[in-house]
Amino acid sequence: MPTWYIHFPLVGISTGAPKVEQLHQTLFEVQNRMTTLWQVQVAAPAGGLLIRVTVSENNHELIIATAESMVRQLLLEEQNNRKG
């Protein structure tokens, strides 16, 4: 199964921003196609956020959809953790 790395530049987010703020920006960036896809982790730009996804085939739409699903899950978990 192919593994891809999705780079999110986190435009306008400071390094020390709360995790929930970073995840909201990540979701915005994936929905607005501000991401880049990399097959090799070391080729991805430094900075921002890098998420690794494994998909059933090398289909860019599937890769992006998988990344968006992962970000939504991480955001939900973070919001639940903040509630208590």
Compute the half-sphere exposure of residue 36: CA atoms within 13 Å on the CB side of its CA: 13
What phi, psi does 40 have (nearest 5°)?
Answer: -125, 125
Give the per-residue pLDDT at 84: 65
Mean pLDDT for 41-59 is 94
For the chain, what are the domain ranges? 8-83
The reported pLDDT for the residue numbered 1 is 92
Structure tokens at 14: 């400071």
Average pLDDT of the chain is 93
Give the gyration radius of the chain's Cα atoms.
Answer: 13
Determine the Cα–Cα distance for residues 62 and 25; give it in Å rounded to an integer: 20
Is a pLDDT exceeding 80 seen at residue 64?
A: yes
- Give the pLDDT score at 16: 86
> In this structure, are strands 3-8 and 49-54 parallel, antiparallel, or unpaired?
antiparallel
